[in-house]
Amino acid sequence: MLGSAYYRWQHKYAPYLFTAPFLLTFAVFALYPMAKSLVLAFYITSGPKSQVFVGLGNFAFMLRDPNFYVAVKNTAVFALFSVFLQLPLSLGLAVLLNAKFLKLRNAFRFGFFSPYLLGQVFVAVLFSVIFAPRLGLLNRALAAVALMPSNTDWLGDPDRVMPALVLTALWMYVGFNMIYFLAALQAVDKDLYDAAAVDGAGPFQRFVHVTLPSIKPVAVFVVVLSTIGSFQLFELPYLMLRNGPGPEQAGLTIVMYLYQKGFEAGDLGYASVVGWSLALGVLGISLLQMRLAGTWKRET
Amino acid sequence: MQTQGATRWEAAMDRLGDWFPFGKAPLIILLLVLVSGGWLLLHPVKRTQATLRFWTFADTHYYAYLNAKPSFEAAHPGQTVDFQFVHGQAVTTRLRAAFWANLDVPDMVEVEISAAGSFFRGPSDDIGFEDLTPRLKAEGLFDRMVKARFAPYTHRGRIYGLPHDVHPVMLAYRRDIFEAEGIDVSKLQTWDDLIAIGRRVTIPDKRYLLDFPDASPSGLEMCLFQRDGGYFDSGGRCIMDSPVAVETLKWYIPLVAGPNMIADDPGWGQPWVKAVEDGYLLTFTCPDWRSKFTEQQIARMAGKLALMPLPAVKPGGRRTSSWGGTMLGLTKACPNKDLAWQLAKHLYLNPEELAKRFRDTNILPALKEAWTHEAINEPRPYWSNQPIGKLYAELAGDVPPQYASPYIEFAKGKLSEVVSSCANYYKKNGEAGFAAFAEARLKGAADEVREMMKRNPF
């Protein structure tokens, strides 16, 4: 009797018990901070101890804050490079490493994926040395083929900071995104290729009419994920540019600006406004991407 | 026997399945959570039991303080000090978080000069450091220490930090190359004299006279301080676009950019070491702390380097500037403030300790009476047998003040942008329109700082 009551109790409450740790953690570390930051957005603060209500003052200040627009522009440029340069390269690599004629495919797959395992801090330190003027590996290589003088200051020249960041991110993430595409490619129904071949489709036509439509859901997922990741860019430029935004703020990103305002200047209110703008912006862009790709449909 | 055992095992598993019907994997996870959580509860991290906890960001300070610790603890029986070496960036962020949360606040902490102002934001009650003004007055320390060094740690008339150092700037030069080139440093009295030499010895992409950067503000700000300019005045007003600042910027940029540049910034660490060793850089600005750094990093240059005062702006003018600095603050959270003050005096005001430390760090203390100690006046073989402590001490009284502001980091960022954009403009356009561009850029940056300051309601 007791056993059956206990069994019923378990079945009734077990789901709540198992989800409770997540829900509790989510409430404490996500929901509460979000709600608190929404309230803070209406205050000017000096750390969490002192705050003065300013209504929409922070929002008005953001709209005329040139630094915020610099951060948005830099982040958007980086995101565009991520989507239009990094992802096609990832897809190309995936197609190449999915080809049956290639030997040592697994070794290549691991080789391209491995930079991701290093982590952003290590990669930032590594590339700071590679981009060093005069003695950096990149300058040495470029000088060797006589393309540029050897003292190009990649991280000290505002025109070169973004290319340096894009190159670094490319090295780190191209293999990571390749894995998604590779998994999608391996799931494409082989019969579709056979049927297309019987209909006379060449390799390019098979890629356009069979491969791309088949991997579209994964591709959209990777695009959205990559866009969100790009808009969260912080560690790479912060460390590569010596804890700052670099020359003429060429490496200032939205999250770096948020960090500067909130945790260096102590203006948590303004940082909250920047944070909410980022969240809403990323949400809008992601929805737009899904809408354009036709993968966002109302459930019926 | 084996079959019987297996049957018993299966029966036990069945009973377990009845009691915990969610599978073996969740059960193992649950057990791991319980065991590891229990172990952590039973083995908490031991709290430091020391009477005073002291953070420093410089390894040279840290090791020197460890040497000074036994004598302090012997003089104060029953009291212990825990010196902790915390990375410079971490000191700032951890201390800020500690002040905000009133949690894990150290009793005493050394803060770098450029970060000090950021701790003076908000109402005075919110500042985490103890106001040291009454103690400084009672001890008569204003006269015993270099007065200008209190300025960076003073806010709204209250002094929150005891200055660790003076950091006068000299110019380190490759004595061997200067002698080979027939350059007599005693005749280099002004910047004009030095620049003329620079034009003669600089070979583009192969050899430069100075190490001034074109993408960060450190070189310009040092020149600004020498000319009594800076970011803020003693009243906390932004003076980044003062006439002195405009003139200094217009003078500085052609040194670091354009066809007649005589300065290049090789960066830090190994690239800088190699640049000095290769003779790519003939001189570099050298505050006292950098002289020790140089000895450690470029050991192969022993006997080939020497120091000279900075050239003056005008004949007879100031021959130094200032770069870097450290304050020691007592936190409001410290329960033993009198004992902490005793330790501060032991570390910062004991001439014998300071002299010993000078041999380890080359850092000239802010306490003037320590400058006569023999350790500070002895010749150094590395620096071509110059008595470098004496040389720095001779300039120390003339070190310009730097004034504190909670907006100092923001202002530095803006000046960095100005230097970079002006250097780029000059590279592309030369003198055409440069003066107006530089002035407008500086004013724009200063206006941004003022706009930010206007938002402060505290």
The pLDDT tens digits of the residues spanning B199-254 come to: 999 999 899 999 999 988 999 999 999 999 999 999 999 999 999 999 999 999 99
Look at phi and psi of residue B264 and say left if phi exceeds 0, alpha if psi is from -120 to 50, else beta.
beta
Whole-number Å distance between alpha carbons of B20 and B41: 25
Q: How many domains does chain A have?
A: 1
Of chain A, the percentage scoring pLDDT greater than 90 comes to: 75
* Distance of residue A6 Cα from the nearest chain B Cα, in angstroms: 9
Q: Quick check: A247 and B216 CB within 8 A? A: yes
The pLDDT tens digits of the residues spanning A248-296 come to: 999 999 999 999 999 888 899 999 999 999 999 999 999 998 888 877 6
Q: Residue B200: how many CB atoms within 10 A of its CB?
A: 11
Q: Quick check: B100 and A48 CB within 8 A? A: yes
Inform me whether the pLDDT recorded for B49 exceeds 90: no
Whole-number Å distance between alpha carbons of A272 and A266: 11
- Domain of A162? 70-251+272-293
A21 within some domain: no
Q: Residue B310: how many CB atoms within 10 A of its CB?
A: 23
A11 within some domain: no
A8 within some domain: no
A4 within some domain: no
H/E stretch holding A244 reads none
Q: Residue A7: how many CB atoms within 10 A of its CB?
A: 13
Whole-number Å distance between alpha carbons of B378 and B424: 45
Check: CB of residue A77 under 8 Å from CB of residue A162: yes
Residue type, B457: P
The whole-number average pLDDT for the span B347-359 is: 91
| Residue A246, CA distances (Å) to A4, A135, B167, B214 in order | 67, 20, 26, 12
| Residue B400, CA distances (Å) to B135, B158, B319, B397, B405 in order | 24, 20, 11, 9, 16
Q: Quick check: B122 and A263 CB within 8 A? A: no
Nearest to B126 among A47, A247, A263 (CB): A47
What is the chain B residue with the closest CA to A57?
Answer: B455
Check: CB of residue A162 under 8 Å from CB of residue A250: yes
Whole-number Å distance between alpha carbons of B346 and B365: 13
A17 within some domain: no
Chain B residues at the A interface, defined by Cβ less than 8 Å, are: 18, 21-22, 26, 89, 93, 96, 99-101, 118, 121-123, 126, 205, 213-216, 264-267, 270-271, 274-275, 280, 409-410, 413, 416-417, 420-421, 424, 448, 455-458
Query: What rounded mean pLDDT belongs to chain B?
Result: 93
Biggest CA–CA distance in chain B, Å, is 105
Could you identify the residue written with the tokens 């973004």?
A: A162
Nearest to B100 among A18, A47, A157 (CB): A47
Q: Quick check: A50 and B271 CB within 8 A? A: no
* Distance of residue B134 Cα from the nearest chain A Cα, in angstroms: 26
Whole-number Å distance between alpha carbons of A249 and A235: 15
A51 within some domain: no
* Per-residue model confidence (pLDDT) at position B266: 86
Inform me whether the pLDDT recorded for B188 exceeds 70: yes
Number of helical (H) and strand (E) elements in chain A, helices listed first: 15, 2
Whole-number Å distance between alpha carbons of B198 and B297: 25
The domains of chain B, with CATH numbers, are 12-42 (no CATH), 52-163+324-396 (3.40.190.10), 169-322+405-454 (3.40.190.10)
Which CATH number fits the domain that encloses residue A153? 1.10.3720.10
- Cα pseudo-dihedral B256, B260, B263, B267, rounded to 10: 60
H/E stretch holding A272 reads helix A268-293
Q: Quick check: A156 and B448 CB within 8 A? A: no
A173 within some domain: yes
* Distance of residue B401 Cα from the nearest chain A Cα, in angstroms: 24
A153 within some domain: yes
The pLDDT tens digits of the residues spanning B76-121 come to: 999 999 999 999 889 999 999 999 999 889 999 999 999 999 999 8
* Distance of residue B123 Cα from the nearest chain A Cα, in angstroms: 8
Q: How far apart are the first and last CA of chain A?
A: 44
